[in-house]
Structure formats: structure tokens, C-alpha cells
Amino acid sequence: MATERTLSIIKPDATRRNLTGKINAMLEEGGLRFVAQKRIKLDRERAERFYAVHKERPFFNDLCAFMTSGPVVVQVLEGDNAVARNREIMGATNPADANEGTIRKSFAESIEANSAHGSDSLENAAIEIACFFSDDEIVG
Ligand code: GDP
């Protein structure tokens, strides 16, 4: 299996409820390793840039407002098939559709406030990691 890196974000609904440690434990127990992590507050411009692919969607404004409503924890995860593995551990976008034991099934408040982000491809992972981390901040 290929060792990959992916970007994960613990979203404001989860930092507000003090769930960072619980979510991180699920990621580590799922076989992923934190090789970078920081807690930051996104501003509107950065949130809009990050979610630019969704700018035509009806929920874009709400999503950007939500993502700037409190601190987030941005993280680089490393492991075998890390992109797909992280999305498995995270669960489906809508918590109603997510499998038992996933982050979103366990913690999400709604389809929008769904506690975690995970890159959806290896190509996007590299782009998203570069949005938040320089090479010397990632320690494998
Ligand atoms: P993801 O890859 O599972 O995060 O899903 P998407 O890339 O499709 O959507 C990005 C984020 O937009 C999701 O994680 C949600 O926070 C939010 N989102 C997606 N679909 C909806 C929706 O129908 N309504 C609202 N309000 N937010 C949504």
C-alpha cells in the first residue's frame, strides 16, 4: 500500500464542544499519524478560497460563515492510503448516511456542521496541505 498524506480539519462545531482529543484518537486508532497540526481561526477570504469549488452551491455562504465561526484544527495525516482511510474514519458528508463508529456519525450536528474535513483525492490533498503548511512544518 502507498504511504500518502492528506489534509484533515476539525471544524468549529467540534472545537466548540472540546472534541479535538476524541477525534484525534479516532484518527490515530484508525492507523493515521499526525505529522503536522495547528489550531487557527480562518478568515472569510481564506475560507472562500479553500471552498472555491463550492462557490456556485446554495450553501456556499453558510458554509463559509460556519467555517469562520470559531477555531479549527488543521492537520496533516500520514499513513497507508491516507486519503481514503481518513474519509472512511470520517464517514459520509451527511451524518444521517454515515456508518456507525465514524467521526461524523458520532459527533456531527448537521450536514454542514459535520465536525471534520478530509481531502477527497491525493491531488487535492497536496493542494490543501500547501494552503496551511510549509514543508518545514511537516515532520514525518
Ligand atoms: P465532504 O468532502 O464530505 O466534506 O463534502 P463536500 O465536499 O460535498 O462538501 C463540503 C462541505 O460543505 C461539507 O463537509 C459540509 O460541511 C458542507 N455541505 C455539503 N453539502 C451541504 C449541504 O447540502 N448543505 C449545507 N448547509 N452544507 C453542506
Centre of ligand 1 to C-alpha 18, Å, is 22
pLDDT computed for residue 50 by the predictor: 97
pTM above 0.85, yes or no: yes
* pLDDT tens readout for residues 122-132: 999 999 999 99
Cβ proximity of 126 and 76 under 8 Å: no
Q: Please name the amino acid found at residue 25.
A: A
Cβ-Cβ contacts under 8 Å for 8 (sequence gap 6 or more): 27, 74, 75, 76, 77, 86, 90, 116, 117, 118, 119
54 catalytic? Reply is: no
Over residues 34-57, mean pLDDT = 97
Residue 124 Cβ contacting ligand 1 at under 6 Å: no
* pLDDT tens readout for residues 66-114: 999 999 999 999 999 999 999 999 999 999 999 999 999 999 999 999 9
pLDDT computed for residue 1 by the predictor: 77
DSSP string covering 12-34 = HHHHHTT-HHHHHHHHHHTT-EE
Residue 114 Cβ contacting ligand 1 at under 6 Å: yes
Question: How many residues are listed for the chain in this entry?
Answer: 140
Centre of ligand 1 to C-alpha 98, Å, is 13
Annotate 74-92 with b (16+ C-beta within 10 A) or e (fewer): bbbbbbebbbebbbebbbb
Catalytic residue, chosen from 14, 117, 119, 125, is 117
